[in-house]
Amino acid sequence: MIPIGMNCSFFSNHARQDRRFPWMDVAGSDSFHVMSKANGRNDLQFGKSSLDETDARILTALDADSRLSMRELASVVGMSAPSVSERVRRLEGAGIIRGFTLDVDTRAIGYQIRAMVRIRPLPGKLHLVEKLIQDRPEFIECDKITGDDPFLARLVVRSIEQMDDVLEALSEHAVTSTAVIKGTSVKKRLPPL
């Protein structure tokens, strides 16, 4: 387990020269600082599973490049491929790794407009609105949130007219507030491990 506040050294010469792993210092002072504490204990927790230094290195490496082969991942974390493979299977089994995803730039495939839509269903329409959101492929993500608007959805469309059509389909069942996304300051990333 990683005690909180302890610096952990990594021992992979291969990864020190690989730009995909920014947490590896080329000069050799490759360490990270554990910045979180769960349940008052001095180790990282996820549900019933504890993360140790090796798990944290595996997650960080896969977050940087989820296409790494087990052999490449083993080289990065300083273990054998079978050991790393078993660790990855354990992390998957514990629900920590839920999948290895594809990150598509929706603008590159013609969806030039991205927006965040706050959605407030009219009284008695919550489940209907949730189903409408799920059935519209232009909504690529939707979270249930607290506050007046129970849904916050990410919408991608090819044109303003298409956005109007999508929002119009919700208008008799919900009130919406839409903000067009100009850019992304922080891309999806791992929290501190």
Tens digits of residue pLDDT in 64-89: 999 999 999 999 999 999 999 999 99
Q: Would you state the structure tokens that stand for residue 81, as one six-digit string?
A: 């491929």
Q: What is the second-level CATH architecture of the domain 106-180?
A: 2-Layer Sandwich (3.30)
In the chain, where are the structural domains located? 7-93, 106-180
Structure pTM?
0.66
Decide which of 129 and 104 is more confident: 129
Closest CA to 2 of 52, 38, 56, 54: 52
**C-alpha to C-alpha distance for 111 and 138, rounded to whole angstroms:** 9
Bridge partners, 45 (sequence order): 50
Q: How confident is the model at residue 41 (pLDDT cuts 50, 70, 90)?
A: very low
For residues 107-123, average pLDDT: 97
To the nearest 10°, report the CA torsion of 96, 101, 107, 113. -40
**For residues 62 and 67, what is the distance between their CA atoms, to the nearest angstrom?**
7
- The token pair at 12 is 């992979």
Asked if the model's pLDDT at residue 24 lies above 60, the reply is no
149 compared with 32, residue with greater pLDDT: 149
